Amino acid sequence: MSYANVPRGDLHERHLTEPSAGGDRSAVSQNVRCRLAVGSGPGFTDEMSSLLRTRLRLAILIMLVGFALHFLRNLLVLGLAFDHRPLWLFFSGCEITVMVIASGLLWSRRPLSMSNLRSLELTIFGSIAAFFAWLQVDTYHDGALLRAVVPGHEATVFRLVGLSAALRWFLLITLYGTFIPNTWRRCAAVVGSLALLPITLMVAGSLLDRTTAAYVLSALPETIILMATAAAIAVFGSHKIRELQEKAHEAQRIGQYRLKQILGFGGMGAVYLAEHVLLRRPCAIKLIRPDQAGDPRTLIRFEREVQATATLTHWNTIEIFDYGHAEDGTFYYVMEYLPGMNLEELVEQYGPMPAERALHLLRQVCQALREAHGIGLIHRDIKPSNIFACERGKVYDVAKLLDFGLVKTFGTESDSVKLTREGAFSGSPAFMSPEQALGREQLDARSDIYNVGAVAYFLITGKLPFDRQSTLQMLHAHAYEPLVPTHEFKEAVPPDLQSVIRRCLEKDPDHRYQDATTLDRALAACASASQWTVERAEEWWRRHGDGTVPPSSSVVERETQTILAGH
């Protein structure tokens, strides 16, 4: 698939080639299982607590509706048929009151612990069980039902009343088993008690009232069958639901990290917002499946590069916490989750930056590159969407250099271990250096210097250095065409900054700044370099972010879908 016709505003979508895996998102988002910790753990407990609260809400809603309908029916249709109406009204009112209070607690914003929720569960189902038990006892008490029956129909009526009572218990037991998250043992203990209660009441009632004993016991076999069936359904359902929940929880874990939600897709995998199970520290995890990486050498190269990037310690480089392989071969790495926006988003939403802010951010990028270049790493894909402006420790506009996914070690790789080929393109065409555009293999730190200059051009003008209709035209422009001066797009660009940008974007690497330290000094020497203060940065974020820096998934959501052409 060609990217020649991709809209020019979508800088992060303009790439040299479609990922060889075809971008099948369903394959990327398949469950990845890596069970390194056995048992529920705090993360699972939190999930169960949230699930229990949700299920209790649903259960009580169903019971409230059913109970209200039953109340109205008895009040309007059967109310005059019994002489115990005042007592029935009293107990019904008490039950409705209990459910309304429980509903208020469950739907409130008040945090409820697992023990609080279990207490509510016991109160809700216990009160209903007590009401059902009272109904069953009161129906047969003192021959009330017998007196209300037309002579000759006693057996039929008692049997139907007994089955009606059994069905109430059946619904209560199955509702508990299928709605309330439990271990099968706990569920068996609760539903076993509920199932035995109506049977015990029937037997006890027949012993206390010999005149109706035969009628009452006529419904006992069906009651036993219904209770046993309800208990079996409840226990089996609870066990299977719990099993599926544990499997789902395990599938959402990579090592000691729990996956919370998907943030985006890159060329070789998916990125998730995650949380460390014990530390509760938010992070981002990128999963790279072998079938998404294309050539196996690409995955080997990527793993080696992540290992190299993990050695970087500069605070302006995104921190990698962990990396490894899941059981199915998926390679993953864990990085810090940044609240803020990438520079592409900032320019798209708020327009070109003032020179002083661009200088403030670019200098931080140079300082991050200084460490990387010092150990022989070049980034090769520096662009606005790979630079993040975030808040760290109440300091605003902290720049973070992201996505070292194309990082390359220069000056250390022998021909026998090369994983890229001469003439292979890598990077993003909109910000690519001439030597990258020409497919040269021997890249060095000066290629990153060109990338930084292209980013500076974009931040100041809101335009690409070479905005062309197709990828090939863009590559040709980077390699051979003269640069349009920044003042043609924005007159207020300081001359000293214009000069720095022009030198960064020289076609010949020998004419550029030779390292990140020299570029940083040149940027620091600009007249407006010290004008973007900590106070101004904080005020900008408060004005545009309602006093906070909103969490953004841009750190990974807009990750470049880049891959080495020809692999």
SS (H, E, C) 96-159: HHHHHHHHHHHHCCCCCCHHHHHHHHHHHHHHHHHHHHHHHHHHHHHHHHHHHCCCCCHHHHHH
Q: Is the CB of residue 397 less than 8 Å from the CB of residue 389?
A: yes
Residue 192 is encoded by which pair of tokens?
């076993």
DSSP label of 74 = I
- Beta-bridged to residue 329, according to DSSP, are none
Closest CA to 52 of 136, 120, 4: 120
In order of 53, 231, 313, 553, 557, the CA distances from 264 in angstroms are 30, 44, 26, 8, 4
- What pLDDT, on a 0 to 100 scale, did the predictor assign at position 245? 72
pLDDT beyond 60 at 86: yes
Q: What is the pLDDT of residue 422?
A: 40
Q: pLDDT tens-digit profile of 256-267? A: 788 888 877 665
CA–CA dist 400, 341 (Å, integer): 10
Residue 82: the pLDDT is: 47
Position of tokens 């309330």? 180
Highest mean pLDDT among 81-95, 157-171, 252-266, 449-463: 449-463
The residue from 381, 403, 448, 520 that is catalytic is 381
Bridge partners of 387? 401
Grouping H, G, I as helix, E, B as strand and the rest as coil, residue 163 is: helix
- pLDDT tens by residue, 537-551: 999 999 886 444 444
For residue 381, indicate whether it is catalytic.
Answer: yes
- Which amino acid type is present at position 55? R
Among candidates 233, 237, 227, 161, which has minimal Cα distance to 198? Answer: 227
pLDDT at position 360 is 97
Q: Can you tell me the mean pLDDT for 108-128? A: 91
Kindly list the distances between the CA atom of residue 547 and the CA atoms of 356, 361, 396, 492, 544, in Å, as whole numbers in the listed order. 22, 21, 11, 29, 8
Averaged pLDDT score across all residues of the chain: 78
pLDDT attached to residue 401: 93
In this predicted structure, which of 49-63, 205-219, 442-456 has the lowest mean pLDDT? 205-219
Element (H, E) at 555: helix 554-557
> Measured over all CA atoms, what is the biggest interatomic distance in the chain, rounded to whole angstroms?
113
Neighbouring C-beta atoms of residue 38, cutoff 10 Å: 7
- Residue 338: pLDDT band (50, 70, 90) is confident
What's the CA gap between 160 and 179, in Å, rounded?
28
Residue whose tokens read 């006890």? 204
Helix (H) or strand (E) holding 381: none
Reported as a single tens digit per residue, the pLDDT across 398-415 is: 999 987 655 666 654 444
pLDDT at 431 over 90: yes
Q: What is the chain's alpha carbon radius of gyration, rounded to the nearest angstrom?
A: 35
d(CA 218, CA 215): 5
pTM, two decimal places: 0.58
Give the pLDDT score at 150: 54
Chain CA centroid to CA 210, Å = 64
Tokens 């300081």, located at residue:
494
Give the residue among 193, 276, 281, 271 at the shortest CA–CA distance from 234.
193
Question: Which residue would you say has higher pLDDT here, 284 or 251?
Answer: 284
Is 547 in a helix, a strand, or coil?
Answer: coil
**Is residue 424's pLDDT more than 60?**
no
Cα(37)–Cα(491) distance, integer angstroms: 60
Residue 277 clears pLDDT 80, i.e. is over it:
no
pLDDT band for position 531 (cuts 50, 70, 90): very high
User: Distance (Å, rounded) from C-alpha 176 to C-alpha 406?
Assistant: 54
Which pLDDT band, with edges at 50, 70 and 90, does 2 fall under? very low
